[in-house]
Chain A
Amino acid sequence: MSNTTVGSGPSKPGNSETAAAVLRVDPHPGEPGGAKAFVGRSPGQLAWIRLKRDRTALVSAIILIVAMVVGLSSPLIERITGVSPTDQFTDKLTSFGALPVGYLGGISAEHPLGLEPGLGRDILMQLVYGLRTSLFIAFAAAAISTVIGVLVGVIAGYARGWLDGVVNWVIDLALAFPFLIFALAAIPVVENRFFGARDEIPASFRVGMIIATFAIFNWTNTARLVRGQVISLREREFVEAARASGASTWHILLRQLLPNIWAPILVTVSLNVPAFITAEAALAFVGIGVTEPTPDLGRMIFNSISYISADPMYTFVPGVTIFLLVLAFNLFGDSLRDALDPKSSR
């Protein structure tokens, strides 16, 4: 049984607690003195048990699931409230300054979170649809960049030599190039190539471009991590043994190495997703975010900057939403890491 260290540091030798967990006694309730049975569990199952017991993981998982459900069911919510995210209630804005009338940015029964200044759109509906966009982009980008990163990392780590050198250089390049500038310049160019002047560029295309840009720049972290893991693993006996018994490179990569690195990869993914949520909102600041009229949390924050003292609710709603989402992801990722790597710091 192999040991995975969560992190790219040098592997530490065998872990007593893991062994103890395997041998842990599981007394049957109601059986005094209970029959002691040995139950063998794989590291994955052990991790799952530890995760379930973690209260923080539970709470953050619930928050995330709620967010996803809300985002996915946004059309349903729209049908229930009868308010669409693009409806403009300009009659509820002051004529001088176009601020929402009433308290806290126009909170009322029909608009539980108030209205946007300027266009008078319902903030709750913008939030609900915006969640959908943000979560979709974050998950998709995390998935794609992880896949690319794993592939590249495994190849670079296993192959060594000049291939490894080239991959390292490309990683350096991707890290050094200012991501926002690239996005700002490249996305409109690509959109122009694909769409005629009169064609409406569907929001999904822009979303796709954003995901692609994220993927281009973010596979590097996963690649580095995986490469480090592979390098430390490839010298191990079990890999030697596999090679000696004539296993193909493919088999070694897929069957021997990959199963041992899924844990840190999983943790990286869960910590990458919040970074993408933050970054997607940041794109709106340079004007390359999701286009109107698709609701977007980042664009809402960006538009709200100047209204911070006049209508704080406008900033508060998307800001706290993103904060809670990111916090939940971070906590969950932490718990996941703890569950996968039970070495305590005692």
Chain B
Amino acid sequence: MTIPKKETRKGTTVRLKIGALTAGALSVALVASGCSKTTEDGGSGDDKKAVVQSGLISYDAADNKGPAPAVEGGVKGGNVGVLLPDGFEHLDPARAYVNVASLAGQLLFRSLNGYREDGKGKLKVVGDLAENPGTDVNKDCKVWEFKIRQGVKYEDGSPVTAADVAYGVARSFSKNLSEGPHYIQQWLADSKEYNATYKGPYDGGADLPPGVTVPDAQTIRFTFAKPQCDMPYAATMSTTVPVPKAKDTKTEYDRKPFSSGPYKIKSYAIGQSLVLERNPNWDGNTDPLRTALPDTFTWNFTLQADQVAERLVADADADKSSLSWVPVPAAQLAKTTTPEVKARVISGPTQYVWYMTINNNRIKDVNVRRALNYALDKDALLKAIGGSAAGTPATTLLSPTVGGFEKYDALPAPVTGDPAKVKEVLGSTPPPPLVLAYANSPRRAAQAEAARKSFEAAGFKVTTKAIDPTNYYTEVGRKDNPYDLYLTGWAADWPGGGTVIPPLFDGREIAETGNQNSAYFNEPSVGAEIDRIGGLPSETERAKAWAALDKKIMTDFAPTIPAYYDASYTLIGSKVGNAFQSDAFGYPSLMNIYVKQ
């Protein structure tokens, strides 16, 4: 290719001038748009909603009968838009696990149990498909019986039967549909490897999993080898969504699941949108949870998080009846502080708690662990990802969204850390060199940097180690992993301490790999207490006991550093009514939402 010949010499100086001019123009453009003063105030991301979760499992007739309580000011009609950047990976109830899939599932499906929420901290587990949250037949938590309500119909008008629920549970055993939660399957098989023997109703397998019986069309029974008093919670999960055998399209079920709820799929274009319309066969009298006021729901998958925030802040006509299932990115937070926008903010703690986990296999001295607790600057850790809208500093192992939560602080220190106290606690012990591992994404890298700085300010020598995000939890889940500190997050699968403390702090579960107890904390007394709590008769007592155990673990052993309670911060349009953050799922639930006319 011929490179053109030289231009006149004079022309070259002009180029320089133009270059300088461009730089100048760009700077003016940028400066002009950024010329306002940023001040400290203006922000409501803090735990204004430090509401303590109090409601639990309810067998009250009033809570368990349909129709759902009327929504004050609620009107029928309209379309609710949901802006969701990455779409759904799976809508199939056997494969859905993430919160957004569960929230969408609340409109499409009915599971045995469900959550009744009012946005004021009174979350209750009640029967959804079932008439009540489950009968403990022999009062030993081993046999659970659910009675399916009469009159619940699928989108084609056929009735929902107990056999369908059993089939739904059965197909979730298949290794091809394994992305969903495995609680019930593991309890039925009495083993972590839930599909070692029974592999689902395919390739010649039986239609009923072992331990599941269907005495009649409206009754289903689960028989577990060990007591599982949390079954009412587990029964809220999508594993118990009814799937008629004739409608099982296996891997295609993700695209078009068969609806048992108030809405059915009208259209689903992956990467584009999902539209739900009414299921004409849904009977509100059979449903204690949903008022199904809007006519349609439309999900938009094409926008990015910052675009979502911009649109909802702007609240144009097309977006007035929309909400989002993605937090407002840190950069856009400043735009949400005007009174008009502030009124449309939905925020609060989610089910996630983030811990700066200490590897107890390597850091065996409890005083060093306490010192690390005093050293960490939790404020900087949060600021690295956006400050108070991203979360609040934590002092407990359980999240405020869990039933029975009690606030305490075993190792009081300012949120920025207390280097003086670190020296005091360490005494003559020399601070060990530490390796802090983090998942190699921009957010976590920034947090690792903030953590490193705070530990070093307290006198520890810290090196950071980036781990590929695909591998992160596998690596720290290895018992012999060579790291001392790593940031891990844990979400309670249901608002009960039973999904937090046993998986994270029961040392008897520790294996070579695949550990969720990545603190590798192993205390026989704690293990015994866990067993004891599991056997307590009522959920209220258990909740109280979990909170007490939480405090004991941190006070006596300090196996980890509770870093922060994850918070969600989303926006809704001005015409969205009755939207509140679900304590179970961290974003606004759609079950009782409506469009203001």
Contacts and interface: CB of A to CB of B under 8 A. Distances in A.
Say if the two chains contact directly (CB < 8 Å): yes
A117 interface: yes
Interface class of chain A by DSSP: loop
Contacts of B39: 94, 101
A343 B6 contact: yes
A292 B43 contact: no
A297 to B, nearest CB: 15
Contacts of B448: 292
A262 interface: no
A38 interface: no
A96 B450 CA distance: 17
A104 B441 CA distance: 27
Contacts of A320: 23, 26-27
Given A103-B35, A119-B383, A315-B30, A197 B481 contact: yes
Nearest to A196: B482
A101 B37 CA distance: 7
A95 B13 contact: no
B6 A337 contact: yes
A309 B33 contact: yes
Contacts of A311: 34, 38, 331
A56 B2 contact: no
A98 interface: yes
Interface in A1-37: 6-9
A99 B38 contact: yes
Given A86-B453, A96-B333, A6 B7 contact: no
B6 A7 contact: no
A118 B19 contact: no
Interface class of chain B by DSSP: mixed
Contact of A338 (B6, B43, B333, B334): B6
Interface in B559-581: none
Interface stretch (A158-166, A212-220, A242-250, A299-307): A299-307
Which bucket holds chain B's interface residue count? 35 or more
Interface residues of A, number: 71
A197 B484 CA distance: 12
Given A95-B387, A315-B30, A6 B334 contact: no
Contacts of B453: 86-88
A323 B20 CA distance: 10
A198 B485 CA distance: 12
Contacts of B468: 188
Contact of B42 (A55, A96, A104): A96
Contact of B1 (A8, A88, A99): A8
A261 interface: no
A306 B330 contact: yes
Nearest to B11: A56
A95 B482 contact: no
A345 interface: yes
A95 B6 contact: no
A316 interface: yes
B384 A331 contact: no
A313 interface: yes
B380 A88 contact: yes
A331 B335 CA distance: 41
B23 A95 contact: no
Contacts of B35: 103-104
A120 interface: yes
Interface in B1-43: 1-9, 12-13, 15-16, 19, 22-23, 26-27, 30-31, 33-40, 42-43
Given A7-B1, A87-B453, A338-B6, 14 more contacts: A90-B450, A97-B333, A97-B387, A98-B384, A101-B38, A103-B37, A105-B34, A119-B380, A119-B446, A198-B483, A312-B33, A315-B30, A320-B23, A344-B8
Interface of A: 6-9, 54-57, 59-60, 86-88, 90, 93-106, 117-120, 188, 196-201, 287, 291-293, 299, 302-303, 306-313, 315-316, 319-320, 323-324, 327, 331, 334-335, 337-338, 341-345
